[in-house]
Amino acid sequence: MPTILVVDDTTLAREAVAKLLEYEGFKVLRAPHGRDAWAMMYDHTPDLVVLDLMMPEMDGVTLLRMIRNSDRWHNLPVIVLTGVSEDQFLIQRARELTIQELIPKDSFGFEDLLTRVKQHLSKAVA
């Protein structure tokens, strides 16, 4: 079963997404910010990342840049879950760094997220 890394500084959001994915049978890793996520990736290579942009320690754009600049993970699928109040500059930077999806936190549904995760995992395997 694929491993998904959920990176979000909001415990409620991180746990809600993680529990949904675990319920569907995925192995889920959790990180409260980019620095923990980056360190975790060396021990547990994820097949997909669900990422928030605004976080302490290391924001999502910085983590995304590191992923895209690495030889090991440059093609790793990344889905960004973002709040409406997110800085538009950060959102634009994330798009420039090649993300698979950008989903607003205030309007996403769990079924929609699950469909998108499965879609991008199947593309990554193909």
Length of the chain (residues): 126
Widest Cα–Cα separation across the chain: 36
Angle separating helix axes 34-43 and 60-69, nearest 10 degrees? 30
pLDDT in tens, 96-106: 888 887 877 77
Domain count, the chain: 1
Give me the percent of the chain exceeding a pLDDT of 90. 57
Question: Quick one: pLDDT at residue 41?
Answer: 95
Instruction: Name the phi and psi angles at 104, rounded to 5.
Output: -65, 135
Q: Which domain holds residue 51?
A: 3-125
Out of 25-29, 55-59, 82-86, which region has the weakest mean confidence (pLDDT)? 82-86
Average pLDDT over residues 35-63: 92
Please report, for the domain that includes residue 29, its CATH number: 3.40.50.2300
pLDDT band at 11 (very low <50, low <70, confident <90, very high): very high
Question: Quick one: pLDDT at residue 86?
Answer: 59
CA distance to 13, 15, 107, 112, per residue, from 92 (Å): 22, 26, 19, 23
User: Is residue 87 scored above 70 in pLDDT?
Assistant: no
pTM given for the model: 0.90
Question: Quick one: pLDDT at residue 125?
Answer: 60
